Structure 1
């Protein structure tokens, strides 16, 4: 069932402008799939979906393609969604544009910073677990370099 759902999700993304997880879930339900928001969120991460800007200023889900320029694409996602960041000991809290936290977290995970243990994303906030308190500053500096 998961494979069929993923195939349908890819087809829907290629043929429609899907801006939100809720819209994605509604479309899957209309196709006969019994999904929750958590299922859709997992599918987004497993399929490596991200949001891209459209010419009219909206954002839509797209499939990240593997190629040599992926770090540039991840940086583009960071730049498009990043608002601010702050730390609380070994936790890095990143604020994003509304609806972009999942895409920015996926980009951060894909960059494979050795200091980042993992990320949890909501709608506009990411909590990244960093190995040590000292590593937080290293990650923040690297992100600032990427964003400038």
Structure 2
């Protein structure tokens, strides 16, 4: 399957969130597994354009991550979007629902995904709702606390 650069780079972000990726070949292998044909040279260009950096892994070695400044900028955007659009927050076990003003859901879900939160499995947004699915019940509590802390009180 062919994937445009913008879509591929968004997919690479999600792979970084879900996997510890140590080498460019790991990106190629994961994309190929998912039916996306890509060369190592393309991945190399994507890494440069996305300004990915290698950071120390907990178990030793290094893995790819989004640049810290981009995460800080994303957090600022997330905080601003939440404060402009937030309606309510609720949870059930591993799932957290953030209700927002109409039209804000997709942007908020994207910003939440870009935060690379360890306990977050995925965030899905429609017009006025974001569903965050966390890896554990404790992760859902941490996620709710993160969102609450970003809101101006």
TM range (shorter): 0.5 to 0.7
Alignment of 1:31-46 (within 5 A): none
Aligned to 1:74: 78
Q: CA deviation at 1:70?
A: 3.4
Show CA shifts across 1:13-35 (max 9, x none).
xxxxxxxxxxxxxxxxxxxxxxx
The normalised TM-score by structure 1 is 0.52
Aligned to 2:105: 101
Alignment partners' CA distance in 1, 2:95 and 2:106: 17
Structure 2 unaligned runs (5+)? 8-69
Q: CA deviation at 1:108?
A: 0.8
Alignment partners' CA distance in 2, 1:105 and 1:128: 8
Alignment partners' CA distance in 1, 2:101 and 2:149: 19
Find the residue that maps to 2:98 and give its secondary structure: strand
Alignment partners' CA distance in 1, 2:118 and 2:140: 11
- For the structure 1 residues 124 and 67, does the alpha-carbon distance in structure 2 shift closer, same or farther, using more than 3 Å as the test? closer
Aligned length: 90
Contact 1:105 / 1:126 at 8 angstroms: preserved in 2? yes
Question: Given the alignment, which residue of 63, 68, 87 partners 1:83?
Answer: 87
Q: CA deviation at 1:138?
A: 1.0
Alignment of 1:1-148 (within 5 A): 69-148=73-152
- For the structure 1 residues 87 and 68, does the alpha-carbon distance in structure 2 shift closer, same or farther, using more than 3 Å as the test? closer
- For the structure 1 residues 133 and 83, does the alpha-carbon distance in structure 2 shift closer, same or farther, using more than 3 Å as the test? same
- For the structure 1 residues 67 and 90, does the alpha-carbon distance in structure 2 shift closer, same or farther, using more than 3 Å as the test? closer
Structure 1 unaligned runs (5+)? 7-65
Find the residue that maps to 1:123 and give its secondary structure: coil
- For the structure 1 residues 90 and 71, does the alpha-carbon distance in structure 2 shift closer, same or farther, using more than 3 Å as the test? same
Q: CA deviation at 1:68?
A: 5.7
RMSD between aligned alpha carbons? 2.7
